[in-house]
């Protein structure tokens, strides 16, 4: 485009329509208002354990990040689990719960909707992100760790996510199923190219 040329379509100028410009920073903030999280779990000897990671502030949390362009929310959540905790496994396509995370102070408070997906861990490798310290906890200990260092209402909301995950896992694994997940409830996720691209295959 030549110097001084307008970036506004010519028909807009001719029709006299007003043009509203949106700052790129605002678009980025809108993108960051929607997050995804993976509640990673394993079942062994009749107990369910949850995999948590640490934030930079050393609080325990679920693998979480922004929704990724070109990926479903489930795929983006699987990507976060891979990068932050080294997770390989199967993830549920539909979010089993959501919660709102508020950050900032006074007039600059931002509300972020976090879409939470269930992920059954099949195996782990070293995570790409350092100092995440992925660690397995019982459900009660996971809830205690999630409450730690947070405001009571936020900690309680994260603890409720664990309770909802337990209820969902038990629905997927009836008592007489011998740990066989309902067919097609979860999707196998294969992470390639160091996690920047992922493909999804139906569970078998």
26-35, 45-54, 72-81, 123-132: least confidently modelled range: 26-35
pLDDT by residue (tens digit) across 90-105?
999 999 999 887 766 6
Model pLDDT, residue 132:
96
Model pLDDT, residue 44:
85
Model pLDDT, residue 21:
57
Q: Is the pLDDT of residue 167 over 70?
A: yes
Spatial contact of 89 and 120, defined as CB atoms under 8 Å apart? yes
Q: Is the pLDDT of residue 184 over 80?
A: no
Taking phi over 0 as left and psi of -120 to 50 as alpha, with beta for the rest, 97 belongs to beta
Query: What are 87's strand-pairing partners?
Result: 124
Res. 109 pLDDT band, cuts 50 70 90 = low
Q: Which class for 106: exposed (0-12), middle (13-18), buried (19 or more C-beta within 10 A)?
A: exposed
pTM recorded for the entire structure? 0.73
Cα separation, 143 vs 148, in Å, equals 9
Higher pLDDT residue, 202 or 75? 75
Cα separation, 60 vs 142, in Å, equals 8
Residue 130 carries which DSSP code?
A: T
CATH 3.90.79.10 fits 23-175+183-202, yes or no: yes
Average pLDDT over residues 129-139: 96
């Amino acid at each position: 485009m030549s110097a001084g040329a307008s970036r506004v379509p010519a028909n807009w100028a001719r029709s006299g329509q007003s043009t509203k410009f949106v700052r790129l920073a605002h678009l980025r903030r809108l993108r960051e208002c929607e997050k995804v999280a993976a509640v990673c779990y394993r079942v062994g000897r009749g107990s369910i354990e949850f995999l948590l990671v640490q934030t930079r502030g050393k609080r325990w949390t679920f693998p979480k990040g922004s929704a990724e362009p070109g990926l479903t929310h489930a795929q983006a959540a699987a990507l976060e689990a891979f990068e932050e905790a080294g997770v390989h496994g199967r993830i549920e396509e539909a979010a089993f719960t959501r919660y709102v995370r508020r950050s900032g102070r006074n007039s600059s408070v931002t509300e972020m909707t976090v879409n939470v997906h269930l992920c059954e861990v099949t195996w782990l490798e070293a995570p790409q992100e350092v100092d995440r310290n992925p660690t397995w906890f019982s459900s009660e200990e996971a809830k205690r760790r999630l409450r730690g260092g947070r405001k009571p209402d936020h900690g309680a909301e994260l603890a409720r996510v664990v309770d909802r995950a337990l209820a969902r896992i038990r629905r997927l694994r009836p008592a007489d199923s011998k740990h066989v997940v309902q067919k097609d409830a979860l999707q196998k996720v294969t992470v390639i190219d160091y996690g920047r691209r992922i493909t999804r295959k139906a569970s078998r």
